[in-house]
A and B are shown apart, each in its own frame.
Chain A
């Protein structure tokens, strides 16, 4: 250092990330980085890689340390002040069960994927970015577990997340998504996760939903959510940088990248659309609808992104128009299927209240009163008569996204979308044209999918202590036990659920702010009685 002057940001980044590699002398580069060629991606000059944040490891630790201190101060305060009972009502807590059981496993798998990229990429600066992201993802898995663990002391169904993630039928939706990405090549993985998943779509989880968590009094969740998303801002930037880098390296990369964008946008959209239900049905107080969130975060902000990428010849994802057609019905269709299958899910279900249905009529003027209100009113009548509607069989799953085939045709909300194809003399079912298209591009990969419902019916989902030949063998109860759910406790109707009972006993407030209390604990103390 000639003059001892402090380096500026760009010089500092360059010194700490560039020129760290050496040219191997007695091993071939292909043997050291064996995964960089088989996907067909051509990289001519890794030194063109640039991290726009120019974050170096020393700065990384400094700022991550500050974020952690802030986060844990809030979690401590939340726990010390019985924050779990200061959220709007006990229905809100049910959304956290989806978070702990579905999202934490995604974060952990992201750690696996980025650890691999931290080894496989062909230059030091992208490897450093991938390593920092791997550490971030592990941080998210642990902070989310910590933030939810306090709730697990008081509410059912949150104490067994890793076990459930690997076995519960609907959790195979997020699990299979991420394992699909982790079993792809390194470039496909990074386009799938950093770009399609993180850049284009995760804002929907971590911005409007987390803002909603704050609005419902959940300091703990909003704090981990925003803390995680601040890392995500860096990941998104990496995602955009990856795309630009790949597209600028060689024109032959463009069609490969386009195909991955088409595939992974649709895969990621199907996973994240679970948030539609969490926003519209599970937040007792709402900040915006899924329709509004999709309009802002995909159509406006995603639209700006794809307009920017048009100069490389990249087009918006193949099925983007379907997502726009589905935005007025997604949450209603999903809530219906969860309600109907409530005895085999890990959280209890309820029908929307009159107030909530009025909100939905306002937010979904073209669809709610026409298609969904009459269904919920009929189901309410059945519930009041003591004969609530229940599915008695398990749903048909899509071979690719593993959702039940619950979605409707893009141009006809009254017709279920159900696609079928034949491959090597077997039938395969799909929820959509998007998923069928993905299958047909890579059938050898997707015929290997482990579909929980198929496996249950094949008799593969029972614990070791079960004798399927005994006279009192109940296949459904045993499948639920295998999945890590407690039959008769975790699912069912919310108004009869332990969480609702305990909430009223411990808080003396109604478990559902829009309904009459479910127990006497509230009645005897209510000021208006």
Chain B
């Protein structure tokens, strides 16, 4: 398991599609810090940030494919590990 505390981040366009995604991320990552800027929301987290399909589905009330994140994604930093259920950013 990684021990890094260096920040990873993911940023989305600030809109109605991403609000439930941001909510799901903050629920699953207690250390995440949400930085709101004009038109953009940037979420920083030390070491590791996980985005869970099931949490987003609970928020949006429908099935969600994690590749849909691409549509409103602005940028990210960290090594990516993606499968059908989780999208993870982390540093070693």
Interface, chain A (partner B; CB < 8 A): 8-10, 52-55, 59, 63, 66-67, 70, 203, 206-208, 210-212, 214-215, 222, 226, 229-230, 232-234, 236-237, 240, 287, 300-301, 303-305, 307-308, 311
A230: chain B residues at CB < 8 Å are 70-75
B84 at interface, CB cutoff 8 A:
yes
Say whether, besides A52-B79, A206-B75, A308-B79, A214 and B39 are in contact (CB < 8 Å): yes
> How many residue pairs bridge A and B at CB < 8 Å?
99
In contact, B6 and A307 (Cβ under 8 angstroms)? yes
A232→B72 CA distance, assembly (Å): 12
Within 8 A of A (CB), among B20-75: 37-40, 42, 67-68, 70-75
B7 contacts A300, C-beta separation under 8 Å? yes
Check B92 against A233 for contact (C-beta < 8 Å): no
Does A67 lie within 8 Å of B37, measured CB to CB? no
Please indicate the chain A residues that have their CB under 8 angstroms from the CB of B9 in the complex: 301
Of listed A206, A226, A303, A305, residue having the most chain B CB within 10 A: A226
7 extra A-B contacts, CB within 8 A, seeds A214-B38, A215-B39, A308-B91: A9-B84, A52-B82, A67-B71, A226-B13, A301-B7, A304-B4, A307-B6
Kindly state the separation between the CA atoms of A67 and B69 in the bound complex, as whole angstroms. Answer: 11
List, sorted by A's number, 20 A–B pairs whose CB atoms are closer than 8 Å: A9-B67, A52-B81, A53-B80, A59-B67, A66-B71, A206-B74, A207-B11, A207-B74, A208-B37, A214-B38, A230-B72, A233-B76, A237-B76, A237-B80, A287-B37, A301-B7, A301-B77, A304-B4, A307-B6, A308-B6
Asked if A229 and B74 sit within 8 Å, CB to CB, the answer is yes
Complex: chain A residue closest to B8, CB-CB: A304
Interface size class of B (residues with CB under 8 A): 20 to 34
Q: How far is the CA of A203 from the CA of B40 in the complex (A)?
A: 13
> Contact: B71 with A63, CB < 8 Å?
yes
What is the distance, in angstroms, from B71's C-beta to the closest C-beta of chain A? 5
Contact A308 B92 (CB under 8 A): yes
Contact in complex: A9, B75 (CB < 8 Å): no
Task: Name the distance in Å between B69's Cβ and chain A's nearest Cβ.
Answer: 9
Looking at B68, B70, B71, B84, the one whose CB has the most chain A CB atoms below 10 A away is: B70
Contacts of A214 in B (CB 8 A): 38-40
Q: How far apart sit A307 and B68, CA to CA, in the bound complex (Å)?
A: 30
Measured CA separation A52–B7 after assembly (Å)? 19
In the complex, the answer to whether A236 meets B40 with C-beta atoms within 8 Å is no
Query: Closest CB-CB distance, B75 to chain A, in whole Å?
Result: 5
Q: Which residues of B contact A222 (CB under 8 A)?
A: 39
Distance in angstroms between the alpha carbons of A301 and B6 in the assembled complex? 8
Of listed A67, A237, A304, residue having the most chain B CB within 10 A: A304
A247–B87 Cα gap in the complex (Å)? Answer: 25
Partner of A211, one of B7, B37, B78, B80: B37
* Given A66-B71, A207-B40, A215-B38: A236 and B76 interface contact (C-beta under 8 Å): yes
Residue in B75, B83, B84 whose Cβ sees the most chain A Cβ within 10 Å: B75
B75 touches A8 (CB 8 A): no
**When chains A and B are docked, how far (Å) is the Cα of A215 from the Cα of B36?**
12
B39 touches A70 (CB 8 A): no
Q: CB-CB < 8 A to A301: which residues of B? A: 7, 9, 77
A233 touches B74 (CB 8 A): yes
| A301–B9 CA distance with the chains assembled, in angstroms | 8
